[in-house]
Amino acid sequence: MRQNILFLMAAVFTGILVWNMNTVYGLPQQVQNVGAYKIIYLHVPAAFTAFTGFFAAMVASLIYLGTSKLKYDAFAGGVTEVALVFATANLLSGMIWARYAWGIWWTWDARLTSMLVCVLMYYGYVMLRQAITEPTQRARLSAVMSIFGMAGVAFVYQSIAWYRTQHPSPVLGFREGGGMGPGLEAPMYWNFLAMLCLAVILASVRMRQAQFATEIDSLRRMAHNH
């Protein structure tokens, strides 16, 4: 059953990706005098996927603290790692675009800074997980860290936005003042869906690995006791 869901996800992901690449290829080279804008089809969905992942991890952490079932911890851990990869992809693609459009790799702008802080925070989460060997202790402590991290992200995001901003204002239609133009937004949402599928696949792979790791660990303990 689980295998089938994964295969289905992979098929959806590949389908959307191929279809989308075709669509994006046909789009104009410049929109509103901004060149190389097509990187946004990677950049923005990656950020969405990352934040969806971090949020899902927080929810799973809360559920773990309520139920003490290790599978929720495995989910939180796996999803955070995958989200971290997408957050990094978002940062790197943004930097490449900034080099093209602004002539610099990095600027201490609100969005860039808060994303970087967010990545550092969850990098700490992954480090914390690796530093604890005892499974239930790891689950408890990293669940608390995940919840604190999400609250921290909210604070960091808002306070840095007050501090300074230079980032192009949000372009998607559901925020005010946005709007890229007809036909330009749809591929972004489709890409978001595709990346979510990919994230689910990767997270389930990580969860399976976590499962095997616990099994190996318990086998080792059994062998040790004999």
Q: Catalog residues that contact another protein under the rule CB under 8 A.
A: 65, 117, 120-121, 123-124, 127-128, 131-132, 136-137, 140-141, 143-145, 147-149, 151-152, 155-156, 158-160, 162-163
CA gap 212, 127 in Å, rounded: 20
Q: What is the DSSP letter of 37?
A: G
Nearer to another protein, 122 or 192 (CB): 122
- Helix then strand then coil, % of the chain, to nearest 5: 80, 0, 20
CA gap 183, 33 in Å, rounded: 17
| Tokens standing for residue 58 | 């927080």
Q: Which of 65, 20, 70 is nearest to 45 (CA)?
A: 20
Within 10 angstroms of residue 158's Cβ, the number of other Cβ atoms is 12
187 and 23 in contact (C-beta within 8 Å)?
yes
Residue 116: strand, helix, or coil:
helix
187 and 20 in contact (C-beta within 8 Å)?
yes
| Tokens standing for residue 218 | 């318990």
Nearer to another protein, 151 or 186 (CB): 151
CA gap 51, 77 in Å, rounded: 14
